[in-house]
Each structure stands twice: as structure tokens, then as C-alpha cells.
Amino acid sequence: MDETTVRDRAAALPAEPGVYQFLDGERVLYVGKAVELRDRVRSYADPRSERIRQMVARADDIDIAVTDTESQALLLEANLIKRHRPKYNVRLKDDKSYPLVALTDHEFPQIRITRDPESGSTVFGPFTSKGTVETVCKALRDVYGLRGCSDHKFANRERPCLDYDIGLCSAPCTGEISKEGYLEDVESITRFFNGETGVLTEPLSQEMEQAAQDERFERAANLRDMLDAVEQFRETSGEAVTSAGSERRRTDVLGVSLAGREPTVALLRAEDGQLVDREQHTLAVPDGDEPSEAALDLPDPTDPGAVLGAFIPQYYAGTELPDRILCPEHPVGDGLDSWLAGVGVELSVPGAGREATLIDLAMKNARRQERDRDGTTALAAALGIDAADRIEGFDVSHAQGRAVVGSNVCFVDGSPDKSGYRRKKLDDENDDYANMRRLIEWRAERAVEGRDDRPDPDLLLIDGGEGQLGAAREALDTTGWDLPAVALAKAEERVITVEGSYNWDSGEEKLKLLQRVRDEAHRFAVQYHETLRDEVSTALDEISGVGPETRKRLLGRFGSVDGVREATVTELREIEGIGKRTAEQIDQQL
């Protein structure tokens, strides 16, 4: 779209408040708000930076929506940004680093620890200590016997499973407990998370005393540890932060950290003086050559007020408004004050007293355990993708086409998220490309059909070279799962994409991140393969001097018999227990 076209389109627009969108076909490139649509859109005829010039040049149409007030435009803009995630807008990205506890929306609910609860679930948290939450949930299952099996196993069960025999499940699948009795136990668990810790501590204490009397001291010690975990859980999850605003139904307290490349906003939610929720979010600012903040309405990432001005309308466009918002500085944004006042939300910047203490706490939360996002941010920028916060890695391991297994590991913000790990036993075939294609098809089909409970990743990493990446791309095209994928070849540590390849410096964080994901996918695949390959024989079994332990070391180091075959005598001798003679025998016989 050239300068003349922009001016012509702007001339036909009303001089009223509203929202405008620059479009590239059906794709939304940018969403903005305006007090007067005509003047605001006309300003794009004379772009103030090269980035804006490129955005306007890519656009082929402008769409608008007129509103009654500037406040309505502010809210509509935020909703459209959340819906379309335009490339040239500031985007809000949720931090899912804290675990939640969910009671699922089943006829016979399950209790789960998750970061992405299913729709309809009753959710508690988030909690800062996953280990404590795991112990508490185990204790709850121990006491109340909630089921832990999958829906498929539950629906096809004809007799109680081992969990019932050892007292971990009340077996609603076979009618060992009535639906009413089971739901009463679920209600007890709900009461526990709502603060009635006695529904768990009392039965645990009674069982501990009985175990001690029966001289079952190991069981008594386990129960004591559970009680300690419950006490720690009670102290941390129900802690009162202050009595400030306790007369109000809800107060949200915001803190800002400007460390790193992306500003972070921490939100503390208090109800009746109790801290009931903690969240952390980042504002992703588009890269570019000094974009004009006036033209793109971008916040100054070095100004806390501007960051809050961008965060508040986007966040509260999709959630229930509080009675009051406390901020460290007054948010900067046209129409923000009038919008909040119009919906009855009090905004204040406390200078002293208990409210200022709350702000200090929020600021500490914003800075607490700041994550090194340089790797994910730099990786996304280098590959030209929106984000690389969630990466899934894939690898295949087998022994000459036997005991073929695939691994699927997950990294969130540069760290392993083992709750997202999966593994798959594949049909035996001595074809690495075909095996990788089947592994990716399995993951993609589950995602497309809604059978995978994990969110879609930002990036797929394939352990291998161009062949493995090509096989993965075939699987993605076949299933219609539209995600970026790259491969990392171990020999040269070369990053391979559809467009070409990169030879990044070994010290760069973005390469180190991919290496961590690749190595973990390889480890997880080999670990699973080791549990299966003892059931099959390999060419290594026929070599004198290669016993089970040496074979395990060889396959663990080189991944497969083919990998051992490609190794040099020098590389073989690096394996513990292999001397020159054995290495030469392996080299000759393979």
C-alpha cells in the first residue's frame, strides 16, 4: 500500500474514535486505536521509521470499527490483539511456570497437577513448590482414593486394578464405591484446597498413630513426612499478605521488572487480605529498527508507566475486573483512566503504609527468579518465528530396526518440563527417516484431533539432519499441523531449516538451548530403548568380548548398531572396558 492509497483510504474514514487494522489479505498485521480515525490513519502515509514503512507496504487493506468513546476503542483494541496476535503489536505472553491442581470435569473426577488444565476443571493454585504439591496430592489420593487411570482404561475395566488392591483407588470403575460416595470424597478434597486442612491432617494423624502402635515404623515415618508437607503447604498457600483493602472484594497489585529484553509484570491478587493468586507475564515488544512509538503505540520498555499502560487493557480485556488496582507508577495510556473509572475500578499509586508494602511485594515477585530468556528470545529472532518459549524435541532409537522407540521431550523457557515428556514404541523398521515421520505423525495427529493434553509448542526440534527434517515436514504437511520445525545435526552442530542452515558460534545461547533439547531427546530415547532392547539380539552379541554391559555402553554412546558401525577404532576405545583388540574386532565384524 503506497502513500496515495493510504491518504485516499483515510479521507473516507470518519473523524470519530475507533479501532483500525492493517491487513495483508486475511492476516492482521497491526491493530491500533484512535481518538479520530481519519487523522490517525492518515499519519501512516508518512511513516516515521523503516519498520513502519515495511508494515504499510505489506498491507493491502485497512479495516475499521467505530466506537462511541475512546475507552471502548481501548478495550476493543486489546481484545483484537489477543485474538489475532498481530506481528507488529505488543503481545501479552502468559507465564505458566507455576503448577496448578485440577479436579477434572469427569463423572468420576481425577486430581491432576498441571500447567494447562482442561476446560471445565475446578482449579486451585498456582503453587510455587511442585514437590510439596505432589506430596499433598499423593496424600489426598491415599486418603480419598481418587482414580488415577486414563479414560480408556476406566471405561473398559472389568475388575479393580492394582491401585485398588494397595488402597490408592476406591475403584468407581467397577462399582466398588457409589457415585455419591465418590463425589463426597471429591468435595472433601475441594474443602481441603479451600482451607479446611483438617480433612487431610486428621485421617493422616490417626493412621500414623495406628502404624506406630502396630510397629510399622516405615509407614509411620512416611505419614509423618506427608503431614509435614501438608503443614508447609498450608503455611505458604494461605498466607495473609496484608489487611489493606480487606473491606473490598478483590484487589490486584502490580509490580514491574525491566530487567532483560522484555518487561515483566507480576500480579498479586488479594481477597479479604489473603493472597489468593500469583501470576507473572511478559510483554513481547516487536523487534525492529527504532520503531516510532507514536505511530505504533508501543510502550517505552524502559518506562514502568508505559509498560503498565500496555499491560492493563490487554490483560483485563479477557478476565474479571477487580475492585481496585494498585500500581508502582501511574500507567501511561490514552483513555485508560476514563475506561477504568467508567467500569468502577479504582486505580491508585500508594506512596506509603501497608499499600506501599504490597507494591514492594509485587515488585519482588516481578524480579524473583528472573529467567534467562536470552536463549529463547535470540532463537526466535534468528529463526524468524514469534516465540521459542516452548520447544519440543524428538529422537528415535533402535537396534538395526528392532525395538524402535521415539522420544518427545519438552522445554519451557529453556528448562526441561518433564510433565510434558512422552515416549512412543514404533513399528520395527530399519529406516531412520520413516521412523521419524511416524513419530511426528503420532504427535501431530494427537494435537490436531485434540487428544493431547499439552499446548502446541512454538518450535519442534528434530535430532538429525536434512533427511530427518524432511521426514518431519512430510508428517506435518500430511496432518495439517502448522508449526515451525528445525533439525540439529550432531556431527557439525549445524542448525538446519527449510530455507537453509546456520553455523552459529558454539558460545551462543540460542545454540546451547537447542543442544540441551537435542541431547535430552536423545537421552530419553536411549533410556526407553534400553528397557526394550534386552528382548532382542543385535550384531554386537556375536562379537567376542562384548557382553551385556559393554553392549549397553556402546549403544548408550552411539545410539544404535549403525552408530557403532560408523564409529572409528579410536572412538570405540573411549568406551570403558574396550581395549584395542576388542575395538578392532568390533570394527572388523561390523
Summarised one tens digit per residue, pLDDT across range 412-465 is 878 788 888 998 888 878 888 999 999 999 999 999 988 888 889 999 999 999
Radius of gyration from C-alpha coordinates of the chain: 29
Pick the most confident of 205-209, 264-268, 321-325. Answer: 321-325
Which residues, including other chains, have CB under 8 Å from residue 270's CB and lie 6 or more apart?
Answer: 241, 242, 244, 245, 250, 251, 252, 253, 276, 358
What spatial distance separates the first Cα and last Cα of the chain, rounded to whole Å?
64
The residues with which 463 forms a beta bridge, in sequence order, are 488
Q: Tell me the DSSP string of 444-476.
A: HHHHHTT---SPPPSEEEEES-HHHHHHHHHHH
pLDDT tens, position by position, 536-588 = 446 676 777 787 778 777 877 776 777 788 888 888 888 887 888 888 888 88
296, amino acid identity: L
What pLDDT is attached to residue 509? 84
pTM above 0.75, yes or no: no
CA 4 to chain centre: 44
CA angle 74, 79, 80 (to 5 degrees): 100
Distance CA 163, CA 172 (A): 12
Residue 306 has pLDDT above 70, yes or no: yes
Q: How far apart are CA 24 and CA 4, in angstroms?
A: 18
Per the model's pLDDT, the better-predicted residue between 190 and 198 turns out to be: 190
Coil, helix or strand for 109? coil
DSSP 418: G
Distance (Å, rounded) from C-alpha 416 to C-alpha 42?
Answer: 48
Per-residue pLDDT at 291: 39
* DSSP string for 147-207: --S-HHHHHT-SS--HHHHTTS---GGGTSS-HHHHHHHHHHHHHHHTT-THHHHHHHHHH
Query: What sign does the dihedral 211-213-216-220 (CA atoms) show?
Result: positive
Own/partner pairs, 35-39, CB within 8 angstroms, 24+ separation: 35/70, 35/334, 37/13, 37/64, 37/66, 38/10, 38/11, 38/13, 38/14, 39/10, 39/15
Q: What is the average pLDDT value for the chain, to the nearest integer?
A: 80
Encode pLDDT of 147-193 as tens digits.
Answer: 878 777 888 778 888 878 777 788 888 888 888 888 988 888 888 88
> Which domains occur in the chain, in start order?
3-89 (3.40.1440.10), 100-237 (no CATH), 251-370 (3.30.420), 376-533 (3.30.420.340), 539-589 (1.10.150.20)
What's the pLDDT at 239? Answer: 36
